[in-house]
Amino acid sequence: MNKTKKSQDLFEQAQKIMPGGVNSPVRAFKNVNSSPIFIKSAKGPYLYDVDDNQYVDFIGSWGPMILGHSNPRIIKAVEEQLQLGTSYGAPTEGESKMGQLVTSVMPSIEMMRMVNSGTEATMSCIRLARGVTGKDKIIKFTGCYHGHVDSLLIKAGSGVSTFGLPDSPGIPKDLAQHTVTVPFNDIDAFENTYKSIKDDLAAVIIEPIAGNMGFIPGEIEFLKILREATNACGAVLIFDEVMTGFRVSLGGAQEIYGIQPDLTALGKVIGGGLPVGAFGGKREIMEQLAPSGPVYQAGTLSGNPLAVAAGTCLIQRLIELNPFEELELNAKFLLNGIKEVMIQKGMPFVSNQIGGMFGFFFAEQQPRNFEDVVETNDKNFEQFFKQSLDQGIYFAPSKFEAGFISTKHSESVLINVLSKIQAL
């Protein structure tokens, strides 16, 4: 009897209603030639599917479950707000309280505005950067995903940079031509591109620690060059910390690198598991937003009180606990254990971790960019993913995604995971 029969039945039904049977592409498990499991509930480090199978979860809703699933404090905060109402479309004290928490640990953010998703956050950063500079061109980096924004969903070609190649039908070529894609961690490629368009450069946007080509940290000298170059030409440096904000450290990747961007996009964690996003930065830039300034941005449900209650509770707890060193040690323990098993099986394996994020590849050397990730072994990853899932271990269903670890992934949980991987 198939132990995921209910999931398979639900997937067949879902495909009749939703494109690909999912509301976000990676959930479809196409990268691992499989079909998704449907989740019924979650608690601590565990997911439970509709067939009542238990999984140790290393996705954590792609970041926000840093204190584990169904955290009692967060549930209580949401329940208390629920009794007061679900949405007002009007200002609340909670929005300012969350803003004060964020600005207290991220010095580059002097003012912020809430939105409803990471995509909205990056989209708003781009519009604001163009508005304050009066320029059009954007530089982004291959493999850095900034949401499904037309200006940013651009494909890189085989050269050091590619002008005007949309990564999806539906994106006007005229718009795509304003976005230039450069290889990640490639100083020479960036400098060559920068010199050719600096006079019309509105912004450089980057995931300082990439989480959408696996887990690839930006190299410090590379990031410093971006800061120096944008300062020199008056462009806006945007850090997309939708995944890394409150995940790699309290102050995000910018705290780790000691580099302050002009604008920062946030999401996921600051909603405590509810849909949310935010962006913020220098006061003189943020004050150009309506109604203070001429750059228009709005959202009826921005600052939703339920999301604000959950996110505020989580951020407060993270400030109290500051669990990032322990999370990193636990992630390293897990990855080192997996590496020992893979070496025994004759499979090359490399990994990395910072705070509560991690990644691994079936490769001889640590990838530095998207092009390197493409070359890593697909067959080994797919085999490892499927065998792990069969053993109740839920890693991201794509080698192009990062992993996440929570405070509920205790030593005993991780030892049990490693014992199952040893038996693969």
Catalytic residues: 145, 240, 268
Residues 201 and 135: beta-carbon distance below 8 Å: yes
List strand residue ranges (DSSP E) for 272-349, in order: 277-281
Q: What are phi and psi of 293, to 5 degrees?
A: -135, -170
Residues 207 and 244: beta-carbon distance below 8 Å: yes
- Residue 405, classed as helix, strand or coil, is coil
- Residue 44, classed as helix, strand or coil, is strand
Q: Where are the alpha helices (DSSP H) in 198-273?
A: 220-233, 252-257
Residues 269 and 276: beta-carbon distance below 8 Å: no
Structural element, H or E, at residue 353: strand 350-354
In angstroms, the first-to-last Cα distance of the chain is 21
CA distance 95 to 129: 24
Calculate the CA 408 to chain-centre distance.
20
Q: What are phi and psi of 120, to 5 degrees?
A: -60, -35
CA distance 148 to 377: 27
Cβ count near 134 (within 10 Å) = 9
Which candidate, 82, 142, 12, 55, places its Cα nearest to that of 310? 82
| Matching residue, tokens 């949309």 | 166
The pair of three-digit structure tokens given for residue 284, joined into one six-digit string: 């003189």
Cβ count near 173 (within 10 Å) = 10
CA distance 349 to 343: 7
Q: How many helices (DSSP H) and strands (DSSP E) are in the chain?
A: 14, 17
| 257 Rama sector, left if φ>0, alpha if ψ -120 to 50, beta otherwise | alpha
Structural element, H or E, at residue 240: strand 236-240
CA distance 137 to 71: 43
